[in-house]
Every structure is written in structure tokens, then in C-alpha cells.
Structure 1
Amino acid sequence: MIQDFISNEGKKGLSLFFAGWGMDKRPFGSLACKDMDIMICYDYTDTGFDYRLIERYGTIMITAWSMGVWAAGKIIPCLKAKGKEITRATAINGTLLPVSDLYGIPEKIFSGTLEGFSEKTLTKFRRRMCGDTANYELFMSGAPLRSIGSLHDELASIYKTATSENSSKGLDDTTCAETIKAECQGNWSDAIICTKDRIFPADNQIRFWTDAGISYELTDRTHYCNDIFSLKITGR
């Protein structure tokens, strides 16, 4: 993944934000925090993480959105193993099982989006992500500057890796809840679920975080919810 500082002023704490699929720094570049530096992670074509970039921080606050929840789920246990204090880890509109009929985006929808991916389907996705014209125009005023090819490659990589992980874990109806709880307890603080989310079905998110034993808040928003991002990333 790409790790990019939004603000890097030598502060003691770090706000670490895992963005969703298809993002870059541009939609979030104006964020600032009085007490923490801010780093954004995006492009999960490769989920590798360079821990050297954040060695100097003793405390880290994590916010993860959409596919970033899945990506952050790989990194949080490693940060804790390295002795980092995670002050909070909040998931927004995502789960650790992004390709799942029960806990994420249904497999047929995910694979269908990938197979037919184009400029047209990207526009359709972004409109569904934003929900209404005003929110769409807000997003597009600072939309990511990435090529269609890079977005397709990232989506394909997420699909391949996530489905492979599902298979290797042997997840089924009898073992899934147990596995989810083991992976989430002690790593995640809370979740925010937007009931108007047209990307990650809210019912699947509720099912995931309930089985994980993690408290969640329901709010009447869409998948892209800039005001919630701003509040959580800046620690307000």
C-alpha cells in the first residue's frame, strides 16, 4: 500500500487513516490535527506496510474506511506486537471480510463490478458511494487522480486476496463468528455504520460487528461521509 503524510510536523502522536478502494491523498489533503501528524494509506494492490515510516510515534489513533478496514485489520496486530499504543481504532462502513455474502459486499456484485470495470462503471460506483448530487459534487471537487488501469488492478488484487483468505480460513456458518471475534477483540474499539450505504450493505456490517463483539453506531449517512471522516481522523 501507499503511505503518504497529510501533515508531518514532528508531533508525538499519529492519526493513521486507511482509505477506501480507489482513493489517494487528494480528497483528504486539507485535514489538519493540532496534536497529531496525519498519514493516509491507500492503493491495496499490495498490502505491504513500511513500519519504518512511523517508528518515531509512540501513540497511534486509527481510522479505517471501507476496504481500508480490511487493510487495517492486517496492520493493527503488527503495530501492537511492535509495542505501539493504539489509542483508538474505528471502522467506518467496512468489515474485515470485504467479499462476503454475509459480512461484506456480496461476491456476485464484487466480481461483476470487476469484470465490467470501465469509466462508466467507475462513475456509477462513485454516485452510489455518495448517494446524492451534493455529496457527489463535493467528492468530485477533490477526486483522486488515478488511472482506470490502477483502479482495476487494485480491485482485482483485493478480490483475489480476500477470496483466497476466505478459503484458507475455511470460513463457514459455524466457524465464521468465532473467527471474526478472535480477530477483532482487542484490536478494534468501535464501528460506524451508515444506514444509507449502497456499497457495503448495512445489514452485513451489523452482522459482522455484532459477531465480533464490537460496539457500533448507526447513522443516517451514505458510504462516503466526509464529515465523519474529518471528525474521526482529526480526533475530535
Structure 2
Amino acid sequence: MIQHFITRKGRGTLSLFFAGWGMDFHPFSDYASGDADLMICYDYTDLGFGYGILEEYGKIKITAWSMGVWAAEQVLKGHENISEAIAINGTPLPADDLYGIPENIFLGTLENLSEASGKAADTVDRFRRRMCGDAGTFRTFMEKAPERDTGSLRDELASIWTKCRNEKERKDNEKPGGSRIWTGAVVCSKDRIFPAANQQRFWDEAATAYTLADGTHYCEDIMRTEISACR
């Protein structure tokens, strides 16, 4: 996992943002975090995390989007000093027919990213268009698109899939209940990546309050609002 500071001024509060699959810091480089330092986490090919940085802060707010919801829970479950944790358009069960992305769709995306398929670039383009929901949002996103090649995206998604399958086989993380870090969630009704109904089912069964918003999977205004609300 890569941890990248957007702002670091030695403040006592950290806004810690976990981005989605296939991201880097570029789409979020102009985000602001109020009176807090802002760090973005991305690339979940491995889940190595530098916990020492967190010791510098007395208060930490987590905002996680898409696949970042799963990643944040993987590395921060049980961590102290988390004052708030908001999940946006994702769940801790990202490859799941009931609570996340249906497994056949997840696997289909992964297979189409293989070099042998010859479809990798088109697959990324289609994913981003579905993620954005409309042509205007897609154009805006592409103006500051992640600078990663399709091979790295394939490796990341394959790693996430393997970890999720291993969790299911061990039955470590198969139900919404149990110890979770989330204090709230936002579900966008027009999400074409994580079905809104699956997200709602997860948060209902996890007894976690959520807001149903009129938006798409890539919901820049909502992400900016949650990140900037850190004080």
C-alpha cells in the first residue's frame, strides 16, 4: 500500500483517505482537509501499512471510498485514536453477491485485464466510464487521471480477489456483523460499480447508519465534503 501526504503541516489531527482500486494521488491532489493533515492511501496489491505515522496524531478521521472501505478495515481494525470512520460507495466485503460487487462481474473484470485478453485498456476505460456515470464527470476525472499502467491495475485487483477468497474460506469476514470500524456510510443510488442495494443490505445488517445520496460511484463532491469535515 502506498501512503502519500497531500498536506502535512504537523497538525494534531489526520484525515486519512483510502481511495478505490486503480487510483493514485493525482485525482485527489487538490483536496483539502480543513485544519487536519491529509494522507491518501492507494494500491492494495499488498497491505503493508506504516503505522508509525499514526502515532504523530491524537485524532484520526477515516474516509474510505470504494475498494478503500475494505482496505481501511483490513489495516485499521482495532486501532485507537479513530474519531470517525465514513465509508463511501463500498463495503468491507467487496467481492460478494449479497454485500459487494457480484463475484462474476469482479472476475470478469479481472479476466479482461489479462494481457492474453487484449482488452485491458478498453476494460479500464469502460470501468472508469461506469464509475463516473456521465460524459462530463468522466472528462473531469480524466483531466487528473491516475498515472498507473494496466499491469499494475491487474496485479492489484488479482491480489484483492485472492485475499477476499482466502477470507471467505477461513470465514473470517463473511457477514456484516462483528467488530467493524465504521461510524457511518454514504450510499449513492446511481452506483454502477457497487450496487446500491448490496451496500444498503450490508449497512442495514451491520446496524450502521448510512445516508442514501443521489450520485454515482465516483462522487467527488461527497468525498471532498467528508474529507474537509475533519477538524
Work out the CA distance in 1 between the residues paired with 2:53 and 2:184: 26
Offset from partner CA, 1:44-95 (integer Å, 9 cap, x none): 0001211012221110011000000000112232422xxxx21210000000
Work out the CA distance in 2 between the residues paired with 1:170 and 1:234: 33
Secondary structure, counterpart of 2:38 in structure 1: strand
Secondary structure, counterpart of 1:182 in structure 2: coil
1:160 alignment partner in structure 2: 162
1:130 alignment partner in structure 2: 132
2:116 alignment partner in structure 1: none
TM-score, with normalisation over the residues of structure 1? 0.92
1:227 lines up with 2:221 in the alignment: yes
Equivalent pairs counted in the alignment come to 224
1:199 lines up with 2:230 in the alignment: no
- Identity over aligned pairs, percent: 54
Superposed displacement of residue 228, structure 1: 0.5
Cα–Cα, structure 1 residues 119 and 210, in superposed 2: closer, same or farther, change >3 Å? same
Cα–Cα, structure 1 residues 132 and 78, in superposed 2: closer, same or farther, change >3 Å? same
* Aligned 1:69-218 pairs, distance under 5 A: 69-80=69-80, 85-117=81-113, 118-169=120-171, 176=174, 179-184=175-180, 187-218=181-212
Superposed displacement of residue 34, structure 1: 3.3
The amino acid across from 1:225 in the alignment is C
Structure 1: give runs of 5+ residues left out of the alignment. none
1:30 lines up with 2:30 in the alignment: yes
1:61 alignment partner in structure 2: 61
Work out the CA distance in 2 between the residues paired with 1:108 and 1:166: 16
Work out the CA distance in 1 between the residues paired with 2:41 and 2:216: 21
Superposed displacement of residue 170, structure 1: 6.8
Secondary structure, counterpart of 1:191 in structure 2: strand
Secondary structure, counterpart of 2:56 in structure 1: coil
RMSD over aligned Cα atoms: 1.3
Work out the CA distance in 2 between the residues paired with 1:160 and 1:231: 33
1:21 lines up with 2:21 in the alignment: yes
Work out the CA distance in 2 between the residues paired with 1:23 and 1:183: 28
2:117 alignment partner in structure 1: none
Offset from partner CA, 1:117-176 (integer Å, 9 cap, x none): 1000100000000000111011111000001110110010001111111121177xxxx5
Work out the CA distance in 2 between the residues paired with 1:43 and 1:58: 26
1:44 alignment partner in structure 2: 44
